[in-house]
Amino acid sequence: MRFAMLAPCHEARSLTPALADFDPGIELMVLPTRHDHRVPRGATGLLDHMLDELAWYGPWDGALVVLDHTAPDTGCLSDARQLADRARRILGPGIPVGTLDDARDDIAAQLSDGLTVLQRLRTMATGT
């Protein structure tokens, strides 16, 4: 199964895409995947870049959006909500989209729980 993690918040973007403690049958890609250390200008540029990658690197079995509850409503949290809504439109109604509550909390535990839930939802939806 393939999952995308959309991480508009700085701390989440610093995660490496390979996490060794997960089931080897699950691929997790952290977006954006910029390796040139350049960040697209402005919130809109970053969101558009992540959504382009979501469409380009698909198909996906599910997606997780990282929310940062310490950000002001005009910042990262609003961007994450917009990102989740736009990701839903790209992925369609049959692909689960979940959230990780706070990038500054125990991200590994949240990610593990989130992937487990998405995997079960996807299995129930497809019957496989």
The torsion angles phi and psi of 3, rounded to 5 degrees, stand at -125, 145
| 83 touches 6 (CB < 8 A) | yes
Structural domains of the chain sorted by starting position, each given as residue range(s) with its CATH number in brackets: 2-15+25-31+42-126 (3.40.50)
User: Residue 98: helix, strand or coil by DSSP?
Assistant: strand
CB atoms within 10 A of CB 69: 12
So what's the pLDDT on residue 90?
Answer: 93
pLDDT band of 12, cuts 50, 70, 90:
very low
Q: What is the pTM of this model?
A: 0.66
Residue 13: band (very low, low, confident or very high) from pLDDT cuts 50, 70, 90: very low
